[in-house]
Amino acid sequence: MNQLNNLTKLVLSKKGKLALGVVMSLGVMFLGVLYLPWILWDLQASPGKCFEVEVKTPLKIREECSNIEDDTELEDQLDREWDEFQGKDESNMDFEERHIHKNYSKNDVKDMVLSLNKFRRKLCTYRSSVATITRYNAKCGKDVVIPKKIKGSEVVGIGDEAFRDKGLLSVKMPNTILIVGENAFNKNELTSVMFSDQLMLIEGSAFASNNLESISLPSQLLGIGDSAFSNNMLKKVILPDSVMDIWKYAFSKNEISNIRIPRYLRTLEKGVFYQNKLERLAIPSTISMIKKDAFVKNDIKKVQLPEDINTDADEGFDKGVAIEITD
């Protein structure tokens, strides 16, 4: 695939979605298809064994993961295609291409594409068996410390609904966790989450409907799914620059008063910060699209938007907000 001619597929799509759509799909595969073969029940052996897991062997991983591109070859390809892209007349570029040309350097593009490749490589190059937690026994307690290994297999994923509605108060993840699945911790009473330093994907509603007041997300995180942290009590959120996609309503219905937009984020999705307490907001030039209700029901009075923002960006704000377009 031509990396730059299809940059809207890898990094910035015409519909304003980043390449993390691909990563989201890969995450589903990882937690689903990748871990289907073998279920280990840990609950009946002893009171201290609280997790049901799905395990994958290295051989099976290699069978199901192919065509991971070498970073050096990928960089060389991107270099060639970037040079071609830079030589293109701007009058012949579409909206997405002009935005890339104006706001991103070659190194920015490399960082984004190589981050996605790194994610695939992490998922697909384990030399020992790996596990995803699929269910937790609530009798084991409300303060959960997830082990690094279960039955000798490294724990790398938390499956869909694995800890949903268990009355949990706190969670500590090992630094082996790469993915947190849909609704994984939904409908608990969480006030504290210690994330894995290696966490790269948080899927839809993963931490929705809890009591979280503050989170600092890890520096390798690439994507945050629909409603992932909605309906908490968040006042402080630290988003790393690594984040390339935040999906609709991800932080809706919280109490966030200040937010810094990550440098590689390009689209502010529908309702992403709906019903918070934002008063001031800085929209960087790298943002090219603000969707409906993105910042509705906040306390914003005035906002400056980049020159090449979508024409209906005002629908992302409450009526009466003073909008100024900057050069």
Kindly give the pairing relationship between strand 130-136 and strand 51-56.
antiparallel
Query: How far apart are alpha carbons 297 and 321 in whole angstroms?
Result: 11
pLDDT along the chain (327 residues), means of 10: 35 36 41 35 46 80 65 79 76 70 75 76 74 94 95 93 98 96 98 96 97 96 97 96 95 96 93 96 91 96 88 91 85
Helix (H, G, I), strand (E, B) or coil at 21: helix
In this structure, which CATH number among 3.30.565.10, 1.10.599.10, 3.10.520.10, 3.80.10.10 belongs to the domain 32-64+127-206? Answer: 3.80.10.10
- CA distance linking residue 176 with residue 120, whole number of Å: 15
Residue pair 254/234 in contact by the 8 Å Cβ criterion: yes
Number of other residues whose CB lies within 10 A of the CB of residue 279: 12
Give the pLDDT confidence score for residue 42 in this predicted structure.
36
Instruction: Determine if the pTM surpasses 0.95.
Output: no
- Per-residue confidence (pLDDT) for residue 129, from 0 to 100: 85
Instruction: Measure the CA–CA gap between 123 and 24, rounded to whole angstroms.
Output: 13
What is the structure's pLDDT at 35?
37
Q: Is the distance from CB of 300 to CB of 322 less than 8 angstroms?
A: no
| 3-state DSSP assignment of residue 183 | coil
Name the residue ranges covered by the structural domains of the chain: 7-27+66-124, 32-64+127-206
How confident is the model at residue 234, as a pLDDT?
Answer: 98
Distance CA 205, CA 138 (A): 20
What tokens appear for 21 in the block?
């759509």
133 membership: H or E segment, kind and range:
strand 130-136
Q: Where are the alpha helices (DSSP H) in the chain?
A: 7-10, 20-31, 58-64, 71-86, 95-103, 106-124
